[in-house]
Amino acid sequence: MPNEHWGREAFRGGSSLGGRNAAIGYQGVVATMWSIKDKYAPEVAGSFYEYLVEKGKNEGSLQLKSANAAYALHHATQCLRRKLGDMEDALLTWVPYVHFGL
């Protein structure tokens, strides 16, 4: 959800899609630092949203809270990391995911 009062200056000059979304006022943005293969992106997205839903249920809410987004991304990348390991090719698969914002 866009928020006009948050962090536009922090992302000034950003040319990435994630940086531009943050610059126009989104509270949080999940992006990648470079182009990724489509093979594992759905897994990361699925793990990300599953974490947000479960965290909300545990907190007695069905809302997805942006305050939990960084934790959800960490969870999702760790799931992929456990699956693929720490070899160089695997690193290039799970490392590029980043979270900008709250």
The domain segmentation of the chain, as residue ranges, is 9-101
Give me the pLDDT at residue 40, please: 93
Stretches in the chain below the pLDDT threshold 70: 1-19, 21-22
CA–CA separation, 11 and 31 (whole Å): 14
Give me the pLDDT at residue 44, please: 95
Give me the pLDDT at residue 14, please: 53
The pTM assigned to this predicted structure is 0.75
CA–CA separation, 99 and 50 (whole Å): 17
Helix or strand run (H / E) with residue 50: helix 41-58
List the structure tokens of 17: 């899609």
